[in-house]
A and B are shown apart, each in its own frame.
Chain A
Amino acid sequence: MFETLTAPLRHLGHVTINAIWRLGFASRFLLAILLQSGQSFRRLNLTIREVYFAGVLSLIIIVVSGLFVGMVLGLQGYNTLSRFGSADALGALVALSLLRELGPVLAALLFASRSGSAMTAEIGLMKATEQLDAMSVMAVNPIARVVAPRFWAGVISMPVLAALFNVTGIFGGYFVGVQLIGLDEGTFWSQMQNSVDLHNDVINGLIKSLFFGIAVTLIAVFEGYDATPTAAGVSSATTRTVVTSALVILALDFVLTAFMF
């Protein structure tokens, strides 16, 4: 009787303890990566290889999405702004919304689903096929050899991708606002330049994307390393990477915005 009554409570306690344990494990994992990352800079081609897979191969999706997001911002912004007779402020609207929020957040979400999931699947599969254990047997530290280069590649790639997303988005907004709708080109750029501040908007956006890069890549490599070494385990770890990254990006974005602006 007592057992069945307390079962939901015990389940809740188990879930809570498990969540806290995983958080602690992830923090120690981050510390281990930082301590073991000497090799990923001494043997730079390890990291460069991962930058290629995480960053260069994400270029297409980032550029195309950035362009379309900027174009949609241009259209919707024009519709709303022209209702208040201030369509001239379109450049400022497009640039500020991209630089402050949309660029870092959307680039990080795309990066998490494009590269984060790939990292998790790769490391999880290495674990399932016992390649990580084989490395340990050969006295090669798998964190230094496999995890740390991927982590640093993600941290390096993320700000670059976010900056690129911003630039293509601004060009998308420019294309719609100036070329299609026919706003004045000079007003578009000068309104943008008047309202965008280098430190407040550009640098803070890049700092945001750096934080997102750290969070997304840490989640990706951690889920891969922690995956249950079966086919189903790798698949659920990949799913968890995308879901957790999305939630963490949005929550972190709120916290960072509250501190920055």
Chain B
Amino acid sequence: MKRTTIDLWVGIFVAIGIAAVTFLSLKVANLTPQSAEASYPLYAEFDNIGGLKVKAPVKSSGVVVGRVASIELDTQRYLAKVTLSLDKRYQFSRDTSAEILTSGLLGEQYIGLVQGGDPDNLKPGERIDLTSSALVLEQLIGKFMLNFAEKGAAKEGSPAGSSGAQ
């Protein structure tokens, strides 16, 4: 086969390869060049973050507005300190509340932000004061059982008391 034909085919081959890698990075891995300037940090403290992971989405009204940048334990007060990296386009008021939610029944956990009414916005590096922790299934069941047992005890206690009075 002629050399130019081989060169052409190898050129096409390499071009297809580059196109494939580009497709994988852009469309499949969703690589969006996000510079440090386009985002700003905020942090929030939670009693319990449940199964929240770094890079989990931060959503407001269901729209992704940022990502969880880091999670660490504050060893002074033993609270989880979660740093959020939010898109510069979205500003939130000072009394914004953050809660840890789950997408679907068994889905991954994310942070939901609810805008408050304060006219001043949170500045980069400030803390979101109003937080509510993740729902931990065991604790939920524990509370439910406790309630149930208390109600049961109250019910059993009242007929026993009335029979004693007779």
Write out the residue numbers on chain B whose beta carbons fall within 8 Å of the beta carbon of A157. Answer: 13
Is B149 an interface residue when CB atoms closer than 8 A count as contact?
no
Min distance, Cβ B160 to any Cβ of chain A, angstroms: 47
Known: A48-B6, A52-B9, A56-B10. A160 touches B28 (CB 8 A): no
Is B155 an interface residue when CB atoms closer than 8 A count as contact?
no
Write out the residue numbers on chain A whose beta carbons fall within 8 Å of the beta carbon of B106. Answer: 86
A201 CA / B29 CA spacing, docked (Å): 8
Q: Select which of A51, A160, A194 is within 8 A of B20 by beta carbon.
A: A160
Summarize B's interface: helix, strand, loop or mixed.
helix
Is A202 an interface residue when CB atoms closer than 8 A count as contact?
yes
Which residues between 3 and 26 of chain B lie within 8 Å of chain A, taking CB atoms? 3, 6-7, 9-10, 12-14, 16-17, 20-21, 23-25
- Among the stretches A68-76, A164-172, A229-237, the one at the interface with B is A164-172
Write out the residue numbers on chain A whose beta carbons fall within 8 Å of the beta carbon of B163. Answer: none
Known: A59-B13, A164-B16, A164-B20. A99 touches B7 (CB 8 A): no
Q: Report whether B6 and A159 are in contact in the complex, using a CB–CB cutoff of 8 Å.
A: no
Write out the residue numbers on chain A whose beta carbons fall within 8 Å of the beta carbon of B6. Answer: 45, 48-49, 52
Q: Select which of B9, B10, B20, B28 is within 8 A of A192 by beta carbon.
A: B28
Q: Report whether A197 and B24 are in contact in the complex, using a CB–CB cutoff of 8 Å.
A: no
Q: Which size bracket describes the interface of A in this complex?
A: 20 to 34
Summarize A's interface: helix, strand, loop or mixed.
helix
Known: A49-B6, A59-B13. A189 touches B27 (CB 8 A): yes
Question: Scoring A residues 143 to 166 as 1 if CB is less than 8 Å from chain B, else 0, what string do you get?
Answer: 000000000000001011101101
Is B165 an interface residue when CB atoms closer than 8 A count as contact?
no
Is A108 an interface residue when CB atoms closer than 8 A count as contact?
no
Min distance, Cβ B12 to any Cβ of chain A, angstroms: 8
Is A198 an interface residue when CB atoms closer than 8 A count as contact?
yes
Q: Report whether B3 and A193 are in contact in the complex, using a CB–CB cutoff of 8 Å.
A: no
Min distance, Cβ A43 to any Cβ of chain B, angstroms: 12
Q: Report whether B29 and A56 are in contact in the complex, using a CB–CB cutoff of 8 Å.
A: no
Is A105 an interface residue when CB atoms closer than 8 A count as contact?
no
Min distance, Cβ B37 to any Cβ of chain A, angstroms: 20
B residues near A (Cβ < 8 Å) are 1, 3, 6-7, 9-10, 12-14, 16-17, 20-21, 23-25, 27-31, 57, 106
Q: Which 10 interchain pairs have the tightest Cβ spacing?
A: A160-B17, A193-B30, A163-B20, A198-B29, A167-B20, A52-B6, A56-B13, A56-B9, A196-B29, A164-B20
